[in-house]
């Protein structure tokens, strides 16, 4: 059974139809990519899946639950986490605290318990810290734990965001252009990292413009154009799809050749 | 690495500082100052609660004066209103024997039956809880500063209702509020012999709340609130129920204001309508801003100091204007409050005297022009 099932979803901003009756599935353990030109609706699709936008129509199932209309925090609790196209760290906190926020939905002490440090709460707090530290080690940034998030380099921000998302123990991880703004070496690291995350049993839905990375990593690819699905298949099927090459890949290849 | 202070140490120091003040004042034959100091400590509780809303949840409340007044007036009305005339009602007869009521004498020595201060306190808390939820629930589901608008309107309504209602004493307010026997031999009262005791009650309550909030902001809840303040969308996507957390913070802070109002009213034996006025609410906001918003210590200190100066009459008839000016000055000149830039300046001056190889490791990091906002959370 599919882990994520998006069924006939539609979303418009005013008159602009950003997602036009899109359906697809993500199988457990898969790395699936969503590609398409700028403005195709990829980020909008992510926002719908993680609950930040409510679709005008259509249904979304995650595991055996219908999650259409759920609030983002409920969807995060259900096991979907994400990173953002523009890194969205909490800049007033340090790196470790950012990752600790990711543990929020897996921990339970509320206002009163935290205020009086009820027996058990300090222990949970220590566990949060430990888990966050472990997550930072996992992405190789343990040495930056105490660094203010605002002082990080761009690539480091992306990695901290990944650590924060992983700290929520997701079953499904949405990565919105994790490679943009990274240099070649960082991109290679990112590719390895995404594979390692998948090996942990996390299913991945990826939006990315770097075709080398996409073709290299993906088990399946979904192509969006003007909010509509125009193709879906394995990397080799997509590379040989005349329609896709015309609207998207052709342009991308030219870009690559020009730069 | 900064050397870590023992976690409890600052509180012990504060407790010690609070403890020696009466002794110093007695030496200086200025014990009368304790009265205003006690009142300032109660006001500081309001500002401390507001600090949680403004500095952590990132919302502004312009109605904290009204919550203070709701607490104070509920207590004042219930503990001064004679219920003995209803004693004949059979269903109320048993109340006379219950701990909810006490028989006492009013200012003129007539025997009256009123609600007991403890029962009135819980009634005030319950009323505040309901009202704060009613105001906060719709306003905090939306993003942006709807809470500021909702609380501003709410504060005005409360003020006008108090002024226009006979049983709240209209423009005169309520006098003759009895003392409040807390138990354990402590009594909230403005009587002269109890002056030092009451100073310690106020100081103890403030210290207790400070410890609780300090624990709170250093926990998963505090981080969640800061995350909401920073980036609500990301906080939500990371599993934080942002609307609920903002609401809980607001209600908690309203309860603190009301609690301060109840104690204050018993201490001063009365309350007047100006406590609910917009000027008071703006003053609390100004004080929270002056303390650095998210710095619990800064807010407590600044608020106690400035309220004390105000109560001693140092600002003369420009009292409200001073706080208005303070708010304008802070917003336009030092949005993080005056204490943080000052602390940075001191640190820089201290750093200039240090040998260069003692530079902080963090300062040596390249920051790629992506200078972060200064850290607010060092409460
Ligand atoms: N909040 C919004 N309000 C109005 N229009 C929006 C909003 N967000 C996105 N859009 C529009 O919806 C369309 C899809 O945008 P979206 O951000 O999903 O594209 P994308 O595929 O992620 O593009 P990119 O590759 O540039 O990130 C675009 O035309 C965009 O202008
Ligand atoms: Mg996008």
pLDDT number for residue B374:
39
Q: Which residue has the higher pLDDT, B336 or A31?
A: A31
pLDDT at residue B326, as a whole number: 80
| B351 confidence band (pLDDT: 50, 70, 90) | low
Whether B10 has a pLDDT exceeding 80, the answer reads: no
- Angle at alpha carbon of residue A232, lines to A226 and A235, rounded to 5°: 115
pLDDT of residue B352: 59
Q: What are the sequence ranges of the domains in chain B?
A: 54-276, 278-354
CB A203 near ligand 1, within 6 Å: no
Does the beta carbon of A111 lie under 8 angstroms from any beta carbon of chain B? yes
Q: Are residues A136 and A216 in the same domain?
A: no
Sequential DSSP letters for B171-213? GG-EE-PPPEEEETTEEE---GGGHHHHHHHHHHHHHHHHHHH
Count other Cβ atoms within 10 Å, centred on residue A220: 18
Write the DSSP assignment of B1-49 as a string of letters.
-PPPPPTTHHHHHHHHHHHHHHHHHHHTT-TTHHHHHHHHHHHHHHHHH
**pLDDT in the model for residue B379:** 36
Looking at the structure, tell me whether residues A23 and A54 fall in a common domain: yes
| Protein residue closest via CA to atom 29 of ligand 1 | A39
Among all chains, which residue has been given the structure tokens 């599993």? B239
Nearest CA in chain B to A149: B372
Asked whether residue A13 is assigned to any structural domain, the reply reads yes
Strand partners, A12: A17
Tokens of B240: 């934080």
User: Residue B247: which residues within 8 A CB-CB, separation 6 or more?
Assistant: B133, B136, B137, B140
Residue B7 is predicted with a pLDDT of 67
**Stretch B8-35: mean pLDDT, rounded?**
79
Q: How many CB atoms lie within 10 A of CB A245?
A: 16
**pLDDT(B355) > 50:** no
CA A173/CA A164 separation, integer angstroms:
11
Q: Is residue A239 part of a domain?
A: yes
Instruction: Look at residue B18 in the predicted model and tell me its pLDDT.
Output: 81
The whole-number pLDDT of residue B95 equals: 62
Query: Does the CA dihedral B43-B44-B50-B52 come out positive or negative?
Result: negative
The verdict on a CB contact (< 8 Å) between B221 and A109 is yes
Cα–ligand 2 centroid distance for A52 (angstroms): 14
The phi, psi pair for B13, rounded to 5°, reads -65, -45
Per-residue pLDDT band at B167 (split at 50, 70, 90): confident
Say what the pLDDT of residue B186 is.
Answer: 84
Euclidean distance between CA atoms A102 and B219, whole angstroms: 13
For residue A230, what is the domain's CATH number?
A: 3.40.50.300
Residue pair A19/A55 in contact by the 8 Å Cβ criterion: yes
Say if residue A219 is in the same domain as residue A141. Answer: no
- Which of B201, B252, B204, B265 lies closest to B68, judged by CA? B265
Tell if the CB–CB gap between B377 and A114 is shorter than 8 Å: no
pLDDT for res B142: 75
Mean pLDDT calculated for residue range B349-375: 44
Q: Is residue A84 part of a domain?
A: no
Nearest one of B49, B42, B43 to B249, comparing CA atoms: B49
Per-residue pLDDT, B19: 80
pLDDT digits (tens, 9 = 90+) for A108-120: 999 998 888 899 8
Judgement on whether residues A11 and A27 belong to the same structural domain of the protein: yes
Interface probe for A, chosen from B219, B247, B368 (most Cβ of A below 10 Å), is: B219
How many degrees, rounded to 5, is the angle at CA B365 between CA B360 and CA B367? Answer: 130
Nearest ligand 1 atom to alpha carbon A45: 18
Given this model, what pLDDT does residue B368 score? 38
User: Which range among A201-205, B142-146, B277-281, B374-378 has the greatest average pLDDT?
Assistant: A201-205
Are both A27 and A70 inside the same structural domain?
Answer: yes
Q: Report whether A169 contacts A106 (CB < 8 A).
A: yes
Is-above-0.90 flag for pTM? no
pLDDT of residue A190: 93
- Domain housing A65: 1-79+170-259
Residue A143 and residue A202 in one domain: no
Which range has the top average pLDDT, A146-160, B70-84, B340-354, B360-374? A146-160
| pLDDT score recorded for residue B365 | 40
Pocket residue to mutate for ligand 1, from A17, A18, A19, A37, most atoms within 8 A of Cβ: A18
Model pLDDT, residue A36: 92
Q: Answer for the pair B75, B266: CB distance below 8 angstroms, yes or no.
A: yes
Residues in chain A with CB shorter than 8 Å from the CB of B222 are 114
CA A166 to chain B, closest CA, distance in angstroms equals: 10
At A239 the three-state DSSP class reads helix
A52:B229 CB<8 A: no
Q: Average pLDDT, stretch B282-297?
A: 83
User: What atom in ligand 1 is closest to the CA of residue A36?
Assistant: 21
Judgement on whether residues A113 and A226 belong to the same structural domain of the protein = no
A76 lines ligand 1 (CB under 6 A): no
Q: Which residue has the tokens 């009301």?
A: B258
Asked if B377 and A92 touch (Cβ cutoff 8 Å), the reply is yes
Could you tell me if A75 and A174 lie in one domain?
yes
**Which position has the higher pLDDT, A221 or B173?**
A221
Into how many domains does chain A fold?
Answer: 2
Q: Is the pLDDT of residue B358 over 80?
A: no
How far apart are alpha carbons B339 and B374 in whole angstroms? Answer: 13
- Measured by CA distance, the residue closest to atom 1 of ligand 1 is A13
Mean pLDDT of chain B: 80
* B370 pLDDT above the threshold of 60: no
- Return the pLDDT at B171: 77
Is the same domain home to A109 and A132? yes
The whole-number pLDDT of residue B296 equals 84
The continuous run of DSSP H or E covering B307 comes out as helix B296-311
* Pair A104, A66 in one domain: no
In terms of domains, do A121 and A244 share one? no
How much is the pLDDT for B97?
Answer: 63
Regarding the beta carbon of A90 and ligand 1, being less than 6 Å apart is answered no
Asked if A26 and A172 touch (Cβ cutoff 8 Å), the reply is yes
Question: In 3D, which of A45, A175, A174, A152 has the Cα closest to residue A90?
Answer: A152
CA dihedral B364, B369, B370, B372 (to 10 degrees): 60
ipTM score assigned to the predicted complex = 0.91
Task: Tally the residues of chain A.
Answer: 259
Our answer on whether the CB atom of A37 is closer than 6 Å to any ligand 1 atom is no
- Residue B173 scores a pLDDT above 90: no
For residue range B218-259, what is the model confidence (pLDDT) as tens digits?
999 999 999 999 999 999 999 999 999 999 999 999 999 999
d(CA A75, CA A108): 17
Q: Does A136 touch chain B (CB under 8 A)?
A: no
Per run of 10 residues, the mean pLDDT along chain A (length 259 residues) is 92 92 94 93 94 94 92 95 93 94 93 89 93 94 92 91 95 94 90 93 94 93 92 91 79 51
Size of interface A-B (CB pairs under 8 A): 137
Question: How would residue B2 be classed by pLDDT, with cut points 50, 70 and 90?
Answer: very low
Closest residue by Cα to residue B154 from B21, B276, B321, B305: B276
């Amino acid at each position: 059974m599919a882990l994520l099932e998006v069924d006939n979803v539609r979303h418009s901003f005013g008159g602009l139809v950003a997602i036009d009756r899109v359906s697809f599935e993500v199988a457990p353990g898969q790395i699936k990519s969503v590609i398409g030109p700028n403005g195709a609706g990829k980020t909008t699709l992510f926002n719908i899946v993680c609950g930040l936008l409510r679709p005008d129509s259509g249904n979304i199932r995650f595991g055996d639950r219908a999650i259409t209309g759920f609030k983002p925090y409920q969807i995060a609790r259900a096991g979907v986490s994400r990173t953002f196209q523009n890194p969205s760290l909490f800049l007033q906190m340090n790196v470790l605290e950012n990752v600790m926020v990711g543990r929020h939905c897996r921990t339970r002490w509320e206002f009163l318990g935290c205020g009086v440090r009820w027996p058990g709460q300090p222990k949970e707090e220590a566990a949060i810290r430990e888990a966050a530290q472990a997550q930072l080690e996992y992405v190789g940034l343990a040495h930056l734990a105490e660094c203010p998030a605002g002082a990080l380099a761009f690539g480091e921000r992306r990695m901290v965001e990944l650590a924060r998302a992983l700290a929520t123990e997701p079953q499904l991880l949405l990565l919105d252009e994790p490679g943009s703004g990274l240099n070649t070496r960082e991109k290679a690291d990112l590719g390895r990292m995404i594979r390692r995350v998948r090996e942990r049993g996390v299913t991945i839905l990826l939006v990315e413009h770097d075709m080398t990375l996409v073709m290299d990593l993906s088990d399946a690819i979904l192509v969006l154009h003007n909010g509509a699905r125009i193709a879906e298949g394995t990397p080799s099927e997509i590379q040989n799809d005349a329609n896709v090459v015309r609207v998207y890949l052709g342009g991308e290849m030219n870009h690559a050749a020009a730069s | 690495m900064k050397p870590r202070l023992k976690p409890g140490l600052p509180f012990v120091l504060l407790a010690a500082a609070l403890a020696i003040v009466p002794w110093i004042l007695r030496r200086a034959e200025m014990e009368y100052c304790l009265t205003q100091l006690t009142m300032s400590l109660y006001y500081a509780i309001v500002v401390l609660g507001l600090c949680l809303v403004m500095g952590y949840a990132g919302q502004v409340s312009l109605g904290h004066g009204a919550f203070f007044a709701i607490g104070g007036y509920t207590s004042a009305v219930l503990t001064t209103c004679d219920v003995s005339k209803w004693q004949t009602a059979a269903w109320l007869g048993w109340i006379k024997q219950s701990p909810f009521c006490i028989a006492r004498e009013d200012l003129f020595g007539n025997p009256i039956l009123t609600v007991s201060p403890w029962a009135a306190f819980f009634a005030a808390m319950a009323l505040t809880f309901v009202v704060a939820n009613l105001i906060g629930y719709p306003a905090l589901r939306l993003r942006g500063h709807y809470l500021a608008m909702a609380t501003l309107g709410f504060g005005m309504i409360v003020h006008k209702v108090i002024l226009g209602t006979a049983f709240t004493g209209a423009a005169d307010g309520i006098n003759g509020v009895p003392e409040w026997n807390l138990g354990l031999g402590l009594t909230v009262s403005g009587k002269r012999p109890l002056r030092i005791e009451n100073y310690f009650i106020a100081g103890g309550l403030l210290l207790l709340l400070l410890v609780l909030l300090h624990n709170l902001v250093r926990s998963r809840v505090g981080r969640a609130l800061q995350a909401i303040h920073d980036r609500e969308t990301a906080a939500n996507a990371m599993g934080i129920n942002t609307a609920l957390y903002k609401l809980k913070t607001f209600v908690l802070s309203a309860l603190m204001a009301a609690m301060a109002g109840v104690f204050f009213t018993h201490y001063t034996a009365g309350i007047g309508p100006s406590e609910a006025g917009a000027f008071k609410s703006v003053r609390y906001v100004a004080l929270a801003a002056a303390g650095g918003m998210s710095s619990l210590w800064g807010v407590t200190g600044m608020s106690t100091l400035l309220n004390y100066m105000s109560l001693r009459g140092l600002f003369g008839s420009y009292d409200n204007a001073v706080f208005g000016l303070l708010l304008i000055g802070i917003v336009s000149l030092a949005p993080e409050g005056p204490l943080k830039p000052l602390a940075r300046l001191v640190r820089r001056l201290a750093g200039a005297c240090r040998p260069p190889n003692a530079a902080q490791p963090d300062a040596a990091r390249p920051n790629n022009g992506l200078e972060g906002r200064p850290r607010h959370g060092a409460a």
